[in-house]
Amino acid sequence: MAEIYTSGGGYTKTDLYSLFKQEGHTNLFTALDKKDHNEKKRRFTDLYSNSNILGSRVLDFIRDRAETFTSAYSEIASADIYLYLHCYTLDCVTAALFHPYRTQSIKGGSDKEMIEYFYNMFSRDVSNGGPLIHDYAWTSMRKGNHLDFTLAARLLEYPKIGLSNMVVECLDHIGAGIDTTGDTLCFLMWELSQPYNMKRMGRLSKELRTIKADGRLENLLYLSAVIQEALRLWAPGTLPLPCYIPNGGRVIDGYFLEAKVIVSCQSYTLHRFDSTVFENPDIFLPERWLEEECSTERQRLFFAFGSGARTCIGKYLALAEMRALLYSVYSQFRTRPADDMHASMKLSDQFITSRPEGMCCQLTFERLDS
């Protein structure tokens, strides 16, 4: 993995990525040329750094959305969190992109229709935006006067790249930010809600209740372990990340491969194939991340956000969203499968990401003090 994705800045991506161009334009994800990719990344990489996410107003909006999510759906006897978690992630990512023109889809109305549109389509290809999000992105970008921490404000500092390229970049970030984090959170909350995980849910709730919502959630060890294990089992993207072997060929794991041979890694395999590192690899065991033994190897094989120069730029935004949502829910409630929940939660592998097979996850929220 290190040879493919980190050596010399990583191998060159294949033409597969061109399939994800927006309106014929190249964005950060689809840029094949390393120089082009680095130039695009330099424009806004600092906005997505861990220190900036934790220190900017983005985190305030994420917390607000998490509390709104919990308030809105905890009173419903059977809440389909699959839909609502995607509303949550849409609201969070649009705050980082366009505020003060962020969506408020958790509250319903036309913003929620953006999410409902995707989940009524036969093809749930959010990467192309669909007409509702496409129009929203163009309208929001044209308005101007975005807050200084937003991607829109930063892109408008580079007028030469053109408005179309700015919108395309934002559409890509929306597409990357909805299904990925929303699906992983859905799988995780379903797993925590199972009777055999009641002790784990209790341990998580106990830790969360030792801190306030505006505290340093990233320092909570068990919360971090729970999230890490969720990302191991249900990583945001299941698409292999193919690259070309460079000119002259390379030796990978003892095998010589000629130039232009396509090589790739995928998170699903890396997170399971070595049972000496991940014992019982298909079992949810967050405690494994608290053990010293094999700690270095676990981190080396962790590929939920990719690796090297092409690591997902939204990694720290996604982690902040997951921490805030889990805090908002499990510091106040326990969850269990709703009585009328019959949909399959089997992992369904899609072209880019994975999702629950039944595209439905109904949970019941119960107050911890009750």
Residue numbers belonging to the annotated binding site for heme: 312
Rounded CA-CA distance 47/314 in Å is 10
Let me know the angle formed at the C-alpha of 112 by 162 and 115, rounded to the nearest 5 degrees.
70
Output the known binding site: 312
Rounded-to-integer distance, Cα 330 and Cα 340, Å: 22
Backbone region of residue 334 per phi and psi (left: phi > 0; alpha: psi in -120 to 50; beta: other values)? beta
What is the distance, to the nearest Å, from the Cα of residue 80 to the centroid of all Cα atoms in its chain? 19
85 CB-near residues (< 8 Å, 6+ apart)? 69, 182, 183, 185, 186, 189, 325
- The radius of gyration of the chain from alpha carbons, rounded to an integer in Å, stands at 20
**Eight-state DSSP code of residue 5:** H
Query: From CA 249, how far away is CA 252, in angstroms rounded?
Result: 10
Residues 330, 363 contacting (CB under 8 angstroms): no
**3-state class of 348 per DSSP?**
strand
Q: Give, in degrees to the nearest 5, the angle at Cα 175 between 39 and 240.
A: 75
- Burial class from Cβ neighbours inside 10 Å (0-12, 13-18, 19+) for residue 336 reads middle
Specify the amino acid at residue 306. G
4: left (phi over 0), alpha (psi -120 to 50) or beta: alpha
How far apart, in Å, are the Cα atoms of 264 and each of 2, 245, 298? 11, 10, 19
Helix ranges (H only) for the chain are 2-5, 34-44, 50-55, 58-73, 81-98, 109-119, 130-143, 151-155, 163-192, 198-208, 221-233, 267-270, 295-301, 315-330
